[in-house]
Amino acid sequence: MYYRLLNLKQLSLRVRIFLAMIFLTLIASVLIALVSIYQFRKEAKEYHQDRLERKENSIVGHINYVLQTTTYPLTTENIPLIFKERIHELADIHSMEINFYDLKGNLLISSKAVFKVDSILPKIDPATLRILQGTIEKRYVEFVKIDGQQYRSSYSYVKDNKFKPLAILNLPYEEDTSFYDNEVKSFLMRFGQVYLLMFLIAIILSYFLSSYITKSLQIISDKIRETNFTNKNQKIVLQEGSREINILIDSYNKMVDQLEDSANKLAQSEREQAWREMAKQVAHEIKNPLTPMRLTVQSFERRFDENDPNIKQKLADFSSILIQQIDTMSAVANAFSNFASMPAQQNETLNVVKIVQLALEIFNEDFIEFVHEKDEIIAEIDRTQLIRVITNLVKNAIQAIPEEKADKRVVVVVEQIGNQVKISVTDNGKGISEENKARIFEPKFTTKSSGMGLGLPIIKNIIENYNGTINFESQKGSGTTFIVMFPIINKENN
């Protein structure tokens, strides 16, 4: 039972409403049929009861007339004599069996020599006799069944002129229900035909009504399913809806506003946190060259001797050290500036293969290999930013290969897959460790002794601005492959 209830709960609201309406239709039809059968039986019972009372009143009136006109003394013993010739006439006139019993329940005379209940009731049952004597009206109707047939057996007192009981009148009445049984069968056949049509109509109406009722809920459900913290969520607008649906829609729209506000606050907080971290990193990178610069100046100041014959060489060395540290700080400032403000996209239609080849010409390493299936792959992208992506990836690939490695190799592949351009840069360097893979695109993260770790984040930013993706595959000690994919046409800029 619990399993069935569980399965029912797992059904959709639309299906449950549909099944509920069908179930109500079935219940209503069954109740109509039961009430109709009950009404037919009740009418049959009332009909036979009224018919028996009418016949009994007619027969009693006729019996009283015979008693008033007879010449025999009105005694119990004379009842067979009084009605000896008249009882058959009464039975024929009223189409009823007529039986007279004495006051003790013994049979006095019957309209038939052998009547239907004679073998079953040779005399009135003592219990029936006590009930008759105890009634106020001195009348009792007993229900009996003989050979499967229902009978009403009426018992009442026959009185003389002084209202003294003379005998007990018994009228067995056979209930013929064949007419009503046929009526019930005819009704059920007609009702079954109408019900079949009504049931088909109910199925169709239930389907459309359940769809109409749950339509609004389906819209709300789809919107809730599409709700995403990182995307712009659309509010629900329905012209017509019930009070409950409108309350649910209002709650959802308020949730969308709150979600958008929370997303904005979170984004602002993340940006502020990122800039704070970046400021710390920049400050740290600037402090690094300042310390050796300070030490160099102090050392030069203590050892300065204008009469020293090597003073010019020492001054040149001192200047060289300062310039080197100043260049380091300048590189830090430039890297931070490039990451903080990306140049605006200047999309142009160009040959990606040619631009990648052009970007590779600035490298002097002879182990760089360029592979392309086509000589021309036309796409819409910023030339400068594409060169920047290739330069940074190839530079990282070269730096990932140890200096002592004999067979250095960097392979750059450009190919077209469907409506996208795929650029892969593969090296046979030392690879990326498992613990560093998750942080490889984080700003300021780097495994090199120099640099700020902004190259890959900048590339990722550029590629994502073109609705593209950048991923990598790496194996420790075997090398790394960075894969860049972006659409041939940037839809956001068209």
Q: Collect all residues with Cβ–Cβ distance below 8 Å to 409 and sequence separation of at least 6.
A: 367, 369, 401, 427, 428
Looking at the fold, whether 50 and 190 belong to one and the same domain comes out as: yes
Domain-located, residue 150: yes
Q: How confident is the model at residue 180 (pLDDT cuts 50, 70, 90)?
A: low
Contacts of 198 (CB under 8 A, 6+ apart): 25, 29
Same domain, yes or no: 132 and 186: no
| 270 φψ region: left (φ > 0), alpha (ψ -120 to 50), beta (else) | alpha
Confidence of residue 117 (pLDDT cuts 50, 70, 90): very low
Of the candidates 340, 364, 390, which is a domain's last residue? 340
CATH assignment at residue 399: 3.30.565.10
Give the relative orientation of helices 178-226 and 13-69 as an angle to the nearest 10 degrees. 160
Residues 248 and 373 in one domain: no
Same domain, 427 and 445: yes
402 and 363: one domain?
A: yes
- What's the whole-number mean pLDDT along residues 128-154? 78
Q: Residue 43 pLDDT > 90, yes or no?
A: no
pLDDT tier at 274 (50, 70, 90 boundaries)?
low
Instruction: Tell whether 86 is covered by a domain.
Output: no
pLDDT in tens, 207-236: 777 777 666 666 766 667 666 666 666 777
Select, from the ranges 65-74, 172-181, 303-312, the one with the highest average predicted confidence (pLDDT): 65-74
Residue 232 lies in a domain: no
Look at residue 1 in the predicted model and tell me its pLDDT: 45
Task: Tell me how many domains the chain contains.
Answer: 4
* Pairwise CA distance, residues 209 & 22, whole Å: 12
pLDDT confidence bin for 300, thresholds 50/70/90: low
Q: Are residues 439 and 394 in the same domain?
A: yes
pLDDT tens digit sequence for 183-213: 777 777 887 788 788 778 878 887 777 777 6
What domain range includes position 396? 347-493
Higher pLDDT, 268 or 344: 268
Q: Is residue 227 part of a domain?
A: no
Q: What pTM did the predictor assign?
A: 0.38
- Of residues 336 and 304, more confidence is placed in 304
DSSP calls for 105-167: SBEEEESSSS-TTTTT-SB--HHHHHHHHH-SSSEEEEEEEETTEEEEEEEEEEE-TT--EEE
Instruction: Give yes or no: residues 256 and 336 share one domain.
Output: yes
The mean per-residue pLDDT over the stretch 412-434 comes to 91
Among 22-26, 365-369, 450-454, name the most confident range.
365-369
